A and B are shown apart, each in its own frame.
Chain A
């Protein structure tokens, strides 16, 4: 599976959109992009995933570039409860391949 690169940390003002980038320049054609987040002292929680098209759910939006070498997770109106570590993972689903989590981006939402 391709590895990902994320900034170590980011800040965002409460109520503003949080845009978290992820670079996956070696992604292969059948690998999906998954995002998870981990709030302090809890297990990671699934947010969203996608292959090529942009995706939106009740938690976030996922924008994948046309060449699929990078993506951005958007939290449209960040709240204090969104303070967490965000992980970007690329993986072929339903295979024996592992989920590589890396160290993620630590997002701090500032009041």
Chain B
């Protein structure tokens, strides 16, 4: 079964800490995405990547950065976590061609105290 795996389901961090959220997919997909999800706001795109070492800003990139050194791994980085970054973070991937369907991970719920 194809998979997108997010390394942590639940994290609790303190304000100012550097936070790494890791996402790995085993489907050889070119495209990977990071979303955050907040009540009443739906899913909002933070960053996406169409290839190794490539990245594009989504709608809400402020306070975040990303890294894609290998095709299967896309990392979201919070350089200095703040309480307003408490959220559910969702990683997804898709392949060019066919239906171009997104496959999501289970999500990482981050709480910043």
Contact = CB atoms under 8 A, between A and B. Distances in A.
Contact of B101 (A49, A96, A101): A49
B52 interface: no
B16 to A, nearest CB: 28
Contacts of A93: 99-100
Residue of B4, B92, B100, B105 contacting most chain A CB atoms (<10 Å): B100
Contacts of B58: 98
Given A101-B43, A103-B40, A103-B41, A43 B99 contact: no
A34 B42 CA distance: 16
A45 B104 contact: yes
Interface residues of B, number: 26
Interface in A32-77: 34, 36, 41-46, 49
Contacts of A36: 102
B100 A44 contact: no
Given A101-B42, A103-B41, A103-B42, A44 B102 contact: yes
A102 B42 contact: yes
Interface residues of A, number: 19
A98 B97 contact: no
Contacts of B40: 103
Nearest to A102: B42
B104 A43 contact: yes
B27 interface: no
A18 to B, nearest CB: 20
A44 B99 contact: no
Interface of A: 34, 36, 41-46, 49, 87, 93-94, 96, 98-99, 101-104
22 contacts: A36-B102, A42-B106, A42-B107, A43-B4, A43-B106, A43-B107, A44-B43, A44-B90, A44-B92, A44-B104, A46-B101, A46-B102, A46-B103, A93-B99, A96-B56, A98-B45, A98-B48, A99-B45, A101-B35, A101-B43, A103-B40, A103-B41
Interface of B: 4, 33, 35, 40-43, 45, 48, 50, 56, 58-59, 90, 92, 96-97, 99-107
